[in-house]
Amino acid sequence: MTGIRTQALQARDAALAVAALSTDAKNALLQAMAAALEADAAVILEANARDLEAARAKGGGSAMLDRRRLDGKRLQGVADALREVAALPDPVGQVTRAYDRPNGIHVERVRVPLGLIAMIYEARPNVTADAAALCLKAGNAVVLRGGSEAIHSNTAIAAALRRALREADLPEAAITLVEDLRRETILELIQLNDIVDLVIPRGGEGLIRFVAEHARVPVIKHYKGVCHQYVDAPCDLGLALDLLIDGKCSRPAACNALETLLGHADVAATFLPRAVRALRERGVELRGCARSRAIVPDLREATGDDYAAEYLDLVLAVRVGDGLEQAIEHIQRYTSDHTEVIVTADASHAERFVQALRSAVVMVNASSRFSDGGELGLGAEIGISTTRLHSYGPMGLEALTVERFVVRGEGQVRHPDLLAPAE
Amino acid sequence: MTGIRTQALQARDAALAVAALSTDAKNALLQAMAAALEADAAVILEANARDLEAARAKGGGSAMLDRRRLDGKRLQGVADALREVAALPDPVGQVTRAYDRPNGIHVERVRVPLGLIAMIYEARPNVTADAAALCLKAGNAVVLRGGSEAIHSNTAIAAALRRALREADLPEAAITLVEDLRRETILELIQLNDIVDLVIPRGGEGLIRFVAEHARVPVIKHYKGVCHQYVDAPCDLGLALDLLIDGKCSRPAACNALETLLGHADVAATFLPRAVRALRERGVELRGCARSRAIVPDLREATGDDYAAEYLDLVLAVRVGDGLEQAIEHIQRYTSDHTEVIVTADASHAERFVQALRSAVVMVNASSRFSDGGELGLGAEIGISTTRLHSYGPMGLEALTVERFVVRGEGQVRHPDLLAPAE
């Protein structure tokens, strides 16, 4: 088996070829990749069946098995997603600013690819195709290290994608799947800071902490989403309830699901009983502070741990306070810098909430579940960053590029006095 | 002495206060900081004299002593630079994009401060004031760790700046100078990834490698500037000579000075003798490849090490090749991703050069010495990045911020089918 350093070097060389591709060439490649997935459907589904077999033998639960399962329809969805990436605007070469300096030099800021991106992820095999497509569209090569539980599916998908590269006379190393699943191989990969430009880990907090602790390559990550919704006074309580139900119940395992409800005391007596009833009807368990339990006595008591928790489940922590400033203090203490929501009818309260909080996404009178690359108009999402560097919040194609400087002049110099007299 | 973790925590809390300041408040603070430096001139110059005394006792050379020396005029320059930062546009709160989604939510991308920035630097004491001013203007707090050789100057400057914070009722910890100069204290600081948002090391390659190897906090850095100028055919050789002299001689110790001249064989026989003569007149030593030595026989022979070297001195490596593609190959092999220049009269050659190279700054018919935040119109420069993440090339105030999402809606949800019927 080729060592990971050699694989990464080949991928880095391939990155130069990908960076040089025109938009049309990249889009044709993505279409060919989609067709290759369709052509290989039988092989990929058979590989996926082997992964599921292994997982069942290990005693995996049915929800987990379902997440990993591919069928004809889901695989078609993966292929269609590649065609959607082909349809997105190409960020590479975009001129974000252009201006002349007083000395006449013309300066442009132009987006260029990052280079070589390593994706380290768990479980769902569609990430293999999605991440490869987004990295390539933004002019990058990618090293993919998926989880052992999807290794057969990932290998079959990568083989199809690489065939499309080969048939386009491009180096297959532009999509490199790491088949050596030892932990020390990840460790070596994330320390190749002379070869790899960025690592994006996606998965459980354990995986992400492992990568963040040991990487020498820059890491963009988010650990968790402890998203808050603050129900202010005055506010439309019907609207607040809609946002609460959508935020908590529409996909509780998503990182943009609500974990904590904060309420203004002036509306809590009216709102909380309604909210508890509506959420319990939908199977949500609530855990409240003393003030909320004074309003709804049968709430289970919440502890500090509840306010720090990302439940990823039908559980919601509740806290009633004196109003906006207490809500801001609570969020500043417990925030995961992911997404915070205020429901209010007072525009000045909304502005104060937006200004005081520094989370990646702040919503006024909208559901936390819009904190998603697709919903926010990025076209797709390679990940979410809760660290304030390079990218903050949902990351689309632009986040896989960086702006550089291109300068055009007519012989301008800084120190004309140094020059030779004209000959 | 307070531990570095405690100091960093205080600085992080102070960052929240700085982030909340209006543009006017920040500008008034910068003006007050400039006035404080002027008021403390005698104290600062006396402290600087003690640093120079210690350096002389250690046997420091005169060039090094001069770099560290402050006098009334230089200190005035430092104060004036703070006022220039006050006059720059405030990046915080800038809305870089705003659009509506089909469901009616309004999305804005808004610049926010990074949070807490650690600067680790050597030698020149003006960095203490410059870095503090830029970090504050962009809404951040800063931890400054200057070199032991400027510790008295840095302490006196920081004391003046902190007095201005105190008199504005702001936490002094927003500008925290680390006076504990042990290496293990830097080590602890750059591993505080739960507290510090970014580390910017500035200084020699040894310092930067130490920080990059041991940091768990994200690092933005550049190791060195091996800047190339390629003289193409056809081209205006007088213009090429002007750019060469300016690039090599106007400040050889700068990272944007030229280190290698690449020449097209079709012009080398004419250009190289002129270039060698003009550069030797200015004290430059040249080292050439076999083809350049066939044209100018008394050139010292260049080795691969010469092409990889950042001389920071009046030395230039020379290589003659078959033209554009060979020049691109040479640069791809030896680039430090800093700045590359092409001098050409052929627009298609210029475009090929720009597209093929991925360095932070690419110049067409302009001096490498314009690769500088001030010259490129950023207003000031906190550092230069040669890593393609967050910022690439000279970094101004914007590079000390990141874009986040602010969303305003009217109760939009993702899954209306989940909601309770209206009551």
Q: Please state which of the ranges A267-276, B116-125, B232-241 shows the lowest mean pLDDT.
A: B116-125
Q: Which residues 58-97 of chain A have a CB within 8 Å of chain B?
A: none
Tell me the three state secondary structure of residue B164: helix
Cα A358 to Cα A371: distance, rounded to the nearest angstrom:
15
Tell me the three state secondary structure of residue B265: helix
User: According to the model, what pLDDT value does residue B423 have?
Assistant: 47
Contacts of B410 in chain A (CB under 8 A): 239, 365-366
pLDDT, tens digit (0-9, with 9 covering 90-100), for B259-295 = 999 999 999 999 999 999 999 999 999 999 999 999 9
Residue B202 sits at the vertex; the CA angle it makes with B197 and B203, to the nearest 5 degrees, is: 150
pLDDT, tens digit (0-9, with 9 covering 90-100), for B331-348 = 999 999 999 999 999 999
- Nearest chain A residue (CA) to B387: A197
β-sheet bridge partners, residue A340: A228, A362
Cβ atoms within 10 Å, residue B274: 16
pLDDT tens, chain A, 423 aa long: 579 999 999 999 999 999 999 999 999 999 999 999 999 999 999 999 999 999 999 887 777 788 889 999 999 999 999 999 999 999 999 999 999 999 999 999 999 999 999 999 987 889 999 999 999 999 999 999 999 999 999 999 999 999 999 999 999 999 999 999 999 999 999 999 999 999 999 988 889 999 988 999 999 988 889 999 999 999 999 999 999 999 999 999 999 999 999 999 999 999 999 999 999 999 999 999 999 999 999 999 999 899 999 999 999 999 999 999 999 999 999 999 999 999 999 999 999 999 999 999 999 999 999 999 999 999 889 999 999 999 999 999 999 999 999 999 999 999 999 886 654
Instruction: Tell me if A420 and B278 make a contact (CB, 8 A cut-off).
Output: yes
- A140 CA: distance to closest CA in chain B (Å): 12
Cβ neighbours of residue B16 under 8 Å, at least 6 residues apart? A332
β-sheet bridge partners, residue A262: A230, A319
Q: Which residues 220-239 of chain A have a CB within 8 Å of chain B?
A: 236, 238-239
- A321 CA: distance to closest CA in chain B (Å): 22
Interface test with B, best of A389, A398, A406, A418 (most B CBs within 10 A): A389
Contacts of B245 in chain A (CB under 8 A): 413, 418-420
Cα B109 to Cα A115: distance, rounded to the nearest angstrom:
25
Q: What count of Cα atoms within 13 Å lies in the side-chain half-sphere of residue A11?
A: 32
User: According to the model, what pLDDT value does residue A1 have?
Assistant: 59
The amino acid at residue B326 is: Q
CB A299 within 8 A of CB A276: yes
The 10 Å CB-count burial string (b at 16+, else e) for A328-342 is bebbeebbbbbbbbb
pLDDT, tens digit (0-9, with 9 covering 90-100), for A349-359 = 999 999 999 99
Q: How confident is the model at residue B419 (pLDDT cuts 50, 70, 90)?
A: confident
Q: How far is CA A170 from the centre of its chain?
A: 28
Give the ipTM.
Answer: 0.95
Q: Where are the alpha helices (DSSP H) in A261-300?
A: 265-281, 290-295
Mean pLDDT over all residues of chain B?
95
CB B138 within 8 A of CB B220: no
CB A355 within 8 A of CB A332: no
- Domains with residue ranges and CATH for chain A: 4-221 (3.40.605.10), 227-370 (3.40.309.10)
pLDDT, tens digit (0-9, with 9 covering 90-100), for B344-362 = 999 999 999 999 999 999 9
User: According to the model, what pLDDT value does residue B158 have?
Assistant: 98
β-sheet bridge partners, residue A364: A342, B408
Q: Which residues 111-170 of chain B have a CB within 8 Å of chain A?
A: 112-115
Cβ neighbours of residue B421 under 8 Å, at least 6 residues apart? none
Q: How confident is the model at residue B304 (pLDDT cuts 50, 70, 90)?
A: confident
